Structure 1
Amino acid sequence: MNTKIFKNSLSVLFIIFLQFNVSAQISEKIELTKGNKLLGLGTQYILKSKILQEQRPVIISLPLGYENSSANYPVLYLLDGLGNIKHEIGTVELLTDSGIIPPMIIVGIESLDRSRDLTPSNAGQDVYGGVGDAGITQSGGAPKFLQFLEEELIPFVESHFRTHPYRLLEGHSFGGLFSTYALMEKPDIFDAFIIQAPALWWNKEEMTEKAKGFFKSNSNLKKAIYFGIGGGDGWGMQQELKRYVQVIDKNPPQNLRWKLEEVGDEDHDTSRLLLNYYGLKFVFSDLIAPEELINDYSDLAFLKGERELMNKYGKHARRPVSNYVDIAFKLLKEENDLGAIVVLNRAIEAYPKYIGLMTNLAKLYEKTKQEKKAIETYKLAIKLSKKLKLGQEEDFKNEINKLKKN
């Protein structure tokens, strides 16, 4: 292979890094209300719950593009939804744009009585947060609340929206306690958990005691679980969480992916934003291309891996764009231009707004004497440039004219 051509082919992929970031910053439009207020936090629904004997408000936020798609989406069930929905949606949209997580439906479950719904047992006198000898009299409602999720809320969501079977439960503090309870009480309901600063001190660490039997008897537990806590969190949280995960360490299920992470010096409340971010990244960390795929590439294995991710997380699941670039760049160094074409085609399917991917795919088609496909790709790039107002139409037309003259 000519050295000059080889160097040019490598520079092609460097250009991508300069161009895809521009497209990544182009945001979808958000509808306005009559008063010109931005929407985007979702729609409130009121469920008449027979199980809880009350009207239960939930906020449902659909992913960008939902209305124009026929795809099914994983669902994230968010405890204390009203207090967490704002930062949750922002983080989810950011990570989705980056390909770190798949697009999801978010169901924010508003709290009406946290001490009742999120605690797995009744706490009597001397309990932290109790009053006098009465303790927290309404506590212990988690079994009924979990029944509400399983028999009323989840069926409502799945009958009214296009959902993928993958479900994620996220909770902080009492919500983390409830998430831990739900994991061990009904492990089949959710596929993954983000458990933030859980109140595992509850009733003399009864969840940790329960874990000793649970993880021994569930050696094939196939879940992803993120345990996170702020470095500045205090009494009742850090040591109790460490004791809980030590139980998993002693009896680790073979198919369980889990992580304990302490984040900075954040206190109990301020840690939520960071723990949500790192928790989502961990749960969906299998979207990152494994080293064996990169080091021992084949078209068959690459495409099989893409199908598996879409089967697991929905048709819009994708790897981070840098993954596709890294794989294509490595293939070019190995003079596997046709393999790089396969990767870039998939990258364009996953990131249809990244014009740099189209440009470089067209150049690779040209390099491999596939002029018709190069022209077709440049035409797609022209349409995208017009749509996004990138001003590159004339450049692409010139490239097409050069190809037609040859």
Structure 2
Amino acid sequence: MKKLFTFILPILFSSPLYSQAIYKTIDSEKLDDARELKIQLPRNYDSESKRTYPLVIVLDGDYLFEPIAGNIDYQAYWEDIPDCIVVGVNQANTREDDFLYDDDTYLPVNEGANYYEFLASELIPFLENNYKVSSFRVIAGHDLGANFINYFLFKDRPLFRAYIALSPDLAPEMATRLKDRLSEIEQETFYYMATADADISFLRNAIIECNAMLNTIDNQNLKYKFDNFEDANHYSLVGRGIPKALNEIFSLYKPITGKEYKEQIIPFEGSPYDYLVKKYKDIEYFYGFEKQLIENDIRAIAAACNKKNDLDALENLAKMVKKEFPNSMLSAYYMGMFHEKEGDYKRALLRYKAGLLLEPSQYIDKDIMLDKMYEAQDALKN
């Protein structure tokens, strides 16, 4: 057995402005061998905090880790998706053995079965014991790896909630098995599959047939998305499929958009504040972790409160903002906004003045607070 060794890449590790890259080699009893891992931690990752992060396992980490980790880091920076812990498993010299399946049952066998057990009973517990991972797990694969990830669906309670299958080299009967399993799955599951017009022909044909079968599934617990890219081949489709897959998997997490504002918040039967509370509770339910309130969503809900002239909702929003951001100008700004809307310009002015001593936010700074002060002062004079 290879000697166990562990080392940490110092580049980017000490700076909170960049994601942290860690390289490890771990011993596996299941494989009777050692395997190399690439691990990307979120920016500002704090091992002492209570916050947890979705776990993304990337097969064929030799070449697939960097595009997935890079996309996650970029989208998380703009708050389009949550920060995630990304782990790539290097397989350059072992992939054919790792993904081996039986010629009769088409299920993992020998080295393939051992690799399955390594991922399920060694790698995931290791990561859970050493990093702040949440219960929401994603697994991604390309080619043979994209076929292999499907075997995790066949457990009574699958280990992963989301699957990214990029141009899968599907085993015989896999399409039928996928249809049967995904039709009855009881846990909310995200499944993404992609091919392209210049994909390897026999892979593409099987994928198109599989998609036709999966499209017939009627199961509210399944969130299925398929892409058939134009002007892409077996390798270039990976770069186009990754952001689409992440966008689909974390669609509920995304900041409120103009479309969501018009089509969901304004027609919502309850108050805009109730919509916000429900949205964040749904995120916690689906992804297994709490999303921190973001300024984009605060602005959208405040605009809806004003449009619907819902003072109670605006007051509740202001109180929530004050609780979440007590040292930020946000707390003073929205409480001042509420007092303005109720016609109490004196209290609004006091809030805005107090806000000058607090920390600016992404959108609210001293200039904006001064403008609001002058508006409140003018209203008092009139």
| TM-score, normalised relative to structure 2 | 0.76
Number of equivalences: 354
Q: Which has the higher strand share?
A: 2
1:117 offset after TM fit, Å? 1.0
- Contact 2:322 2:330 (8 Å CA) reproduced: no
In structure 2, distance between residues paired with 1:272 and 1:256 = 23
- Contact 1:61 1:106 (8 Å CA) reproduced: yes
Unaligned 5+ residue runs, structure 1?
Answer: 1-30, 124-137
Deviations for 1:246-294, whole angstroms, at most 9, x for unmatched residues? 3333443341111111233211111112211000110111235665554
Structure 1 counterpart of 2:177, from 182, 192, 210:
210
1:49 maps to a residue whose letter is: S
Structure 2 counterpart of 1:175, from 139, 145, 151:
145
Q: Which residue does the alignment assign to 2:5?
A: none
In structure 2, distance between residues paired with 1:215 and 1:103 = 27
Deviations for 1:13-72, whole angstroms, at most 9, x for unmatched residues? xxxxxxxxxxxxxxxxxx8569x9x97352112111000111111122111222174201
Structure 2 counterpart of 1:96, from 67, 76, 81:
76
Q: Which residue does the alignment assign to 1:117?
A: 98
Deviations for 1:212-266, whole angstroms, at most 9, x for unmatched residues? 54346x2535311111223331312222112223333344334111111123321
1:147 offset after TM fit, Å? 0.8
SS of the residue 1:312 aligns to: helix
2:75 maps to a residue whose letter is: L
1:80 maps to a residue whose letter is: D
- Contact 2:58 2:86 (8 Å CA) reproduced: yes
Structure 2 counterpart of 1:295, from 262, 267, 270:
267
1:307 offset after TM fit, Å? 2.4
In structure 2, distance between residues paired with 1:247 and 1:391 = 51
Q: Which residue does the alignment assign to 1:256?
A: 222
1:393 maps to a residue whose letter is: K
Q: Which has the higher helix share?
A: 1
Instruction: Find out whether 1:270 has 2:270 as its counterpart.
Output: no
Q: Which residue does the alignment assign to 2:38?
A: 59
Q: Which residue does the alignment assign to 1:332?
A: 306
Aligned in 2, Cα 1:97/1:378: closer, same or farther, shift over 3 Å?
farther
> What are the equivalent positions in structure 2 for 1:39-54 lying under 5 Å apart?
40=19, 42-54=21-33
In structure 1, distance between residues paired with 2:335 and 2:122 = 48
SS of the residue 2:233 aligns to: coil
Q: Which residue does the alignment assign to 1:384?
A: 359
SS of the residue 2:210 aligns to: helix
Instruction: Find out whether 1:393 has 2:366 as its counterpart.
Output: yes
1:154 offset after TM fit, Å? 0.4
Q: Which residue does the alignment assign to 1:192?
A: 162
1:194 offset after TM fit, Å? 1.2
SS of the residue 1:286 aligns to: coil
- Contact 2:283 2:290 (8 Å CA) reproduced: no
Aligned in 2, Cα 1:327/1:146: closer, same or farther, shift over 3 Å?
same
SS of the residue 2:252 aligns to: helix
1:327 offset after TM fit, Å? 4.0
Q: Which residue does the alignment assign to 2:6?
A: none
1:55 maps to a residue whose letter is: A
Deviations for 1:148-172, whole angstroms, at most 9, x for unmatched residues? 1111000000011122111111111
1:396 maps to a residue whose letter is: M
2:267 maps to a residue whose letter is: N
Q: CA RMSD in A?
A: 3.9
Deviations for 1:168-214, whole angstroms, at most 9, x for unmatched residues? 111111221111232235651111111111111x4xx3312433543
- Contact 2:150 2:178 (8 Å CA) reproduced: no
1:54 maps to a residue whose letter is: D
SS of the residue 2:234 aligns to: coil
Aligned in 2, Cα 1:181/1:394: closer, same or farther, shift over 3 Å?
closer
Aligned in 2, Cα 1:54/1:365: closer, same or farther, shift over 3 Å?
farther
In structure 1, distance between residues paired with 2:90 and 2:98 = 11
Instruction: Find out whether 1:156 has 2:126 as its counterpart.
Output: yes
SS of the residue 1:214 aligns to: helix
SS of the residue 1:266 aligns to: strand
Which structure ranks higher in relative contact order (CA pairs < 8 Å, sequence separation ≥ 6)? 1
2:249 maps to a residue whose letter is: V
In structure 2, distance between residues paired with 1:87 and 1:377 = 45
Range 62-71 or range 375-384, more displaced: 375-384
2:359 maps to a residue whose letter is: L
Q: Which residue does the alignment assign to 2:193?
A: 227
In structure 2, distance between residues paired with 1:352 and 1:120 = 56
